Amino acid sequence: MDGNGRWAKRRLMPRVAGHRQGVESLRRCIRACVERGVKVLTVFAFSSENWSRPEDEVSGLMELMGKALTREVPELRKNGIRLVFVGDRQGLSECMRQSLVQAENQTADNARMVLNVCFNYGGRWDIAQAAAKLAASGEPITEAALGGATALAHVPDPDLLIRTGGEQRISNFLLWQCAYSELYFSDKLWPDFDAAALDAALAAFAERERRFGKTSDQVAHQAVG
């Protein structure tokens, strides 16, 4: 969800104002995904590298998260959306950790869609913590075991990764999980990303041929069979 700061800067507003608008965009995106039958939505809210941003921006983001939890969780619960926070909670305050657990508990029984919010998350951290978990248990580090120990093992690997803001990189997001995801880059800044932009991404995805290492002929034969 890239481009909040640039969106605000173009309007001569503080960067935090862009993040506030980004929350509104996320609300629209969640609603649109539910309406289109998406079963899992994973969003990158705060990376492990974002701590290096200006202190006032970081504190503003933390405050925004706290307010969003208070305001949004009842709506998510009502709409059947299960909320899961993914990331290193050791770097968060005790109050924030308790708030995340409480929000997860309040939506734990929902099954219409899973909303994963990656908060204090990094793809390299995820792989490292999964390997450490296996090493501590004495379990052999195989591809299947490592995948099962990642922080997103509760959902399938993503079919589609969308990045907004015009940058064409994944910036340490879902490095393990996106091995065969289709990548889609939008020039829209995140606060401007709406249902029409989502539909454009889904339409582009529908045109892709997903081979997973196979040839086009094999894929065609499998579809016929």
Task: Say which residue the tokens 């582009």 belong to.
Answer: 204
Specify the amino acid at residue 66. G
Task: Say which residue the tokens 């980004």 belong to.
Answer: 22
As a residue count, the chain comes to: 225
Q: What is the pLDDT along the chain (225 residues), one digit of tens a residue?
A: 999 999 999 999 999 899 999 999 999 999 999 999 999 999 999 888 888 888 888 888 888 888 888 899 999 999 999 999 999 998 788 988 999 999 999 999 999 999 999 999 999 999 999 999 999 999 999 999 999 999 999 999 999 999 999 999 999 999 999 999 999 999 999 999 999 999 999 999 999 998 877 787 767 767 766
User: Which residues are paired to 85 by β-bridges?
Assistant: 117
Which run of H or E residues covers position 171?
none
For 193, residues 6+ apart whose C-beta sits below 8 A from its C-beta are 1, 25, 28, 29, 164, 186
Give the start-end residues of each E strand in 23-171. 40-47, 81-86, 113-121, 160-163
Which run of H or E residues covers position 170?
none
Strands 113-121 and 40-47: parallel
For 26, residues 6+ apart whose C-beta sits below 8 A from its C-beta are 1, 43
> How many Å apart are CA 34 and CA 61, to the nearest integer?
26
Sheet holding 81-86, edge to edge: 40-47, 113-121, 81-86
- Give the chain's radius of gyration (CA, Å): 18
The phi-psi region of residue 212 (left if phi > 0; otherwise alpha if psi is between -120 and 50; otherwise beta) is: left
**pTM for this structure?**
0.91
Q: Which residues are catalytic?
A: 2, 50
> How many Å apart are CA 86 and CA 122, to the nearest integer?
10
